[in-house]
């Protein structure tokens, strides 16, 4: 019995929680002015749509048989004694309609289908949007392309519908209460603008091709005037004229001021032939102009936000302010760079900005990256118990032509090259003896272009690890500048395994070792071939008009081969 009662309670709770879906009634408003030939057919198509509850034809002062045709077709007819305009006709129908959803359809569409009507209304019935407007292909559209779109793009750039003057649309009646109906042909674009500014969701629905009567040029002229009046009126009402005119001018002047500040700072730090005082004056003038007009922009913007209802103003606002925002970001990045390069010691503030180096290889470089941005590097102390290890950023290794686990000899002391620690991509950690010999201190900032100067005279044993368990050690000394160099390529068993570039003395001999033992010498630029344990080794030199900081020594092993097998 107990379990039976529990089951009954759960069933009753489930039934109670399943609220019946509220039925939404749909009205279709058809404005008509002398449309006796097509109005009955349009009504007949609308009646085919199962969820349409009411059809109202607003006879806008017609002088033909539009009223009788509409009545005979089964529609409710509301008459205007005189022609008041499309907007007035739509408003009359909207006020008389008693349904939850209202669709507005022209009375002169020759090829209207029930599918087109359903496409307009279903997104609202399904709760996907509050308003739908249609887009379709047709022969006309001159007012849209030549008048509406250019003005909307200027004053309301966030509105990007393909056909803002579609003529056919649907909406929830409750949201139409917030919209001001224009009396004439401006009603379509007025609804679109109001919905956008008020934040009402509006969706453009493609209903395919429709066939209208082509309007004569005189009617298009009237339509264009009414559309222009509506857009300009809305732009003035919602503060868009102020945004484009006053705020636009203030933004341009703000950018001028910000640009002067950037120019002044750049002159102070990077242009030697311009006196310091000139750079300071430019910066100060720029600061005054920028602050004055940015305040103007803020004040006007606040005024506009207060004047304009909530909605999609932010999209247009960002688009208008975007150039100023970018200028501010550039200036802030520049100032942050200078702040990061500031040092205060013994009552002296020193700002020494250091830039990264853009590296572009114009020749056949052995580097994996033909273009990269490197440095600057900050000198720091070695980690405890790493007195024989140098932690070097990967960009610095590329510049010096070395790699992980290579050996670098500085004043008769050997150090192993290791990678930087996580979070320290540009930190160069040196043991105290290495710092003393290289004449650098903790906190020094070294540009990438100065690395070869700092490490000049250091001897490096660089390892080339091959897939066939063979390692080739290349030994060279770092030069303080770039010189014209000779390239060479190493082949083992006719397979290219190594390519490098460095400085050789012409007609000098360079030693080759295997397993650390001297085997033979090679006289550059003559090629060399030898055999070791069934392995053929060929070294070919070539002139590639390249430059390098590597300097090979004629005393000591130039190349050292290790065969693990």
Q: What pLDDT score was predicted for residue 404?
A: 93
Within-domain flag for 534: yes
Reading the block at residue 501, the tokens are 């570039």
Position 397 scores a pLDDT of: 92
Give the pLDDT of the chain (565 residues) as one tens digit per residue: 454 554 544 455 554 433 334 568 999 999 999 999 999 999 999 999 989 999 999 999 999 999 999 999 999 999 999 988 888 998 999 898 989 999 999 898 888 899 999 999 999 999 899 999 888 765 446 677 778 788 887 778 778 787 777 778 899 999 988 888 888 888 888 888 888 888 888 888 888 877 766 666 666 778 888 888 888 888 888 777 766 677 778 888 999 999 999 999 888 888 878 888 898 999 999 999 999 999 988 888 777 666 655 555 566 667 677 888 888 888 888 888 778 777 676 666 777 777 777 777 655 554 455 577 788 899 999 999 999 999 999 989 988 989 999 999 999 899 999 999 999 989 999 999 999 999 999 989 888 888 999 999 999 999 998 877 889 999 999 999 888 899 999 999 999 999 999 999 888 899 999 988 999 999 988 999 999 888 899 999 998 888 889 999 887 789 999 987 6
Q: For residue 388, is it within any domain?
A: yes
For residues 123 and 120, give the distance between their C-alpha atoms in angstroms, rounded to a whole number.
7
CB neighbour burial string for 201-220, b if at least 16 within 10 angstroms, e if fewer: ebebbebeebebeeeeeeeb
In a domain, 5, yes or no: no
The number of folded domains in the chain is: 4
Residue 145 DSSP code: I
> 409: which strand partners?
414, 459
CATH number of the domain that 363 lies in?
Answer: 2.40.40
DSSP assigned state of 503 = B
User: Do residues 409 and 475 share a domain?
Assistant: no
Same domain (yes/no): 209, 306? no
**What pLDDT sits at residue 477?**
95
pLDDT of residue 361: 63
Of the residues 237, 261, 290, which one is the last residue of a structural domain? 237
| d(C-alpha 451, C-alpha 148), whole Å | 62
CA distances from 194 to 152, 179, 241, 269, 304 (A): 12, 6, 16, 51, 16
Report pLDDT for 242: 66
Handedness of CA 19, 20, 21, 24 (dihedral sign): negative
152 three-state secondary structure: helix
Does residue 50 sit in the same domain as residue 196? yes
Same domain, 225 and 251: no
Q: Which domain holds residue 544?
A: 460-563
Within this chain, do residues 341 and 408 fall inside the same structural domain, yes or no? Answer: no
Q: How far is CA 62 from CA 83, 107, 168, 258, in A?
A: 7, 12, 21, 62
- Does any domain span residue 520? yes
CA distance 131 to 274: 61
Does residue 96 sit in the same domain as residue 221?
A: yes
The answer to whether position 14 is within a domain reads no
Tell me the CATH number at 108: 3.90.550.10
**370 and 485 together in one domain:** no
What pLDDT does 29 receive?
Answer: 93
The CB density around residue 35, as the number of other CB atoms within 10 Å, is 26
Bond preceding residue 376 cis, omega within 30 of 0: yes
Burial class (CB in 10 A: 0-12, 13-18, 19+), 401: buried
CA 343 to chain centre: 35
Regarding whether 493 and 415 lie in a shared domain, the answer is no
Same domain, 297 and 261: yes
- Residue 296 burial by Cβ neighbours in a 10 Å radius (0-12, 13-18, 19+): middle
Q: Give pLDDT, residue 16.
A: 40
H or E, element range at 255: helix 248-270
495-502/509-514 β-pairing: unpaired
**Are residues 112 and 165 part of one domain?**
yes
Q: What is the pLDDT of residue 343?
A: 67
Predicted local distance difference test score (pLDDT) of residue 21: 46
Query: Is 317:243 a contact under the CB 8 Å cutoff?
Result: yes
For strands 389-391 and 413-418, give the pairing. parallel
Among the candidates 397, 425, 453, a domain finishes at: 453
10 belongs to a structural domain: no
Crossing angle of helices 114-125 and 39-47, in 10° steps, is 50
Q: Are residues 77 and 183 in the same domain?
A: yes
Name the pTM for this structure. 0.51
* Model pLDDT, residue 10: 47
Q: Determine, yes or no, domain membership for 378.
A: yes
CA torsion through residues 208, 212, 214, 217, sign: negative
Closest listed residue to residue 508, CA positions, set 495, 521, 494: 521
Residues 282 and 423 in one domain: no
Q: Three-state SS for 60?
A: strand
The pLDDT score that the predictor gives to residue 52 is 92
Residue 91 phi/psi, 5-degree rounding, is: -65, -40
At which of 345, 377, 398 does a domain end? 345
- CA-nearest of 235, 409, 231 to 308 is 235
Q: Are the beta carbons of 546 and 364 closer than 8 angstroms?
A: yes
Structural domain includes residue 287 = yes
């Amino acid at each position: 019995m107990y379990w039976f009662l529990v089951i009954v309670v759960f069933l009753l709770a489930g039934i109670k929680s399943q609220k019946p879906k509220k039925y939404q009634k749909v009205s279709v408003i058809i404005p008509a002015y002398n449309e006796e030939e097509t109005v009955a057919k349009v009504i007949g198509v609308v009646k085919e749509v199962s969820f349409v509850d009411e059809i109202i034809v607003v006879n806008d002062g017609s002088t033909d048989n539009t009223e009788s045709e509409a009545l005979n077709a089964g529609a409710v007819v509301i008459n205007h004694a005189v022609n008041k305009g499309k907007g007035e006709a739509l408003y009359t129908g909207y006020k008389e309609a008693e349904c939850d959803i209202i669709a507005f359809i022209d009375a002169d569409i020759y090829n209207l289908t029930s599918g087109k009507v359903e496409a307009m209304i279903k997104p609202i019935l399904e709760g996907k949007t509050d308003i739908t407007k249609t887009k379709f292909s047709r022969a006309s559209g001159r007012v849209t392309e030549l008048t509406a779109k250019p003005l909307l793009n200027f004053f309301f750039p966030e509105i990007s519908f393909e056909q803002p003057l579609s003529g056919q649309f649907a909406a929830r009646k409750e949201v139409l209460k917030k919209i001001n109906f224009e009396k004439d042909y401006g009603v379509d674009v007025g609804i679109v603008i109001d919905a956008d500014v008020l934040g009402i969701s509006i969706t453009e629905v493609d209903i395919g091709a429709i066939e209208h009567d082509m309007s004569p040029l005189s009617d298009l002229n009237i339509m264009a005037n009414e559309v222009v009046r509506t857009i300009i009126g809305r732009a003035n009402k919602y503060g868009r004229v102020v945004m484009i005119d006053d705020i636009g001018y203030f933004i341009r002047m703000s950018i001028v001021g910000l640009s002067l500040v950037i120019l002044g700072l750049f002159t102070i730090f990077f242009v030697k032939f311009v006196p310091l005082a000139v750079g300071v004056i430019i910066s100060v003038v720029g600061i005054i102009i920028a602050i004055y007009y940015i305040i103007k922009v803020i004040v006007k913007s606040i005024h506009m936000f207060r004047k304009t209802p909530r909605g999609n103003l932010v999209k247009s606002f960002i688009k208008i302010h975007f150039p100023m925002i970018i200028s501010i970001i550039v200036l802030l990045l520049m100032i942050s760079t200078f702040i990061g390069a500031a040092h205060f010691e013994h009552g002296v503030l020193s700002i020494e900005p250091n830039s990264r180096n853009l590296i572009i290889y114009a020749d056949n470089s052995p580097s994996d990256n033909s273009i990269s941005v490197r440095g600057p590097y900050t000198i720091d102390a070695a980690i405890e118990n790493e007195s024989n290890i140098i932690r070097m950023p990967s960009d610095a290794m590329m510049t010096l032509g070395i790699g992980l686990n290579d050996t670098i000899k500085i004043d008769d002391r050997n150090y192993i090259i290791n990678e930087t620690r996580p979070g320290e991509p540009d930190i160069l950690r040196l043991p105290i003896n290495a710092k003393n010999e290289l004449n650098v201190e903790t906190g020094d900032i070294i540009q990438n272009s100065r690395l070869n100067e700092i490490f000049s005279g250091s001897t490096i044993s660089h390892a080339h690890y091959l897939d066939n368990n063979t390692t080739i050690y290349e030994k060279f000394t770092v030069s303080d500048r770039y010189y014209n160099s000779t390239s060479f390529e190493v082949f083992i068993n006719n397979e290219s395994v190594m390519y490098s570039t460095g400085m050789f003395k012409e007609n000098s001999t360079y030693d080759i070792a295997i397993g650390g033992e001297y085997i033979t010498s090679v006289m550059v630029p003559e090629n060399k071939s030898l055999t070791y344990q069934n392995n053929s080794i060929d070294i070919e030199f070539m002139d590639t008009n390249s430059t390098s900081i590597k300097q090979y020594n004629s005393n000591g092993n130039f190349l050292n081969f290790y065969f693990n097998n």
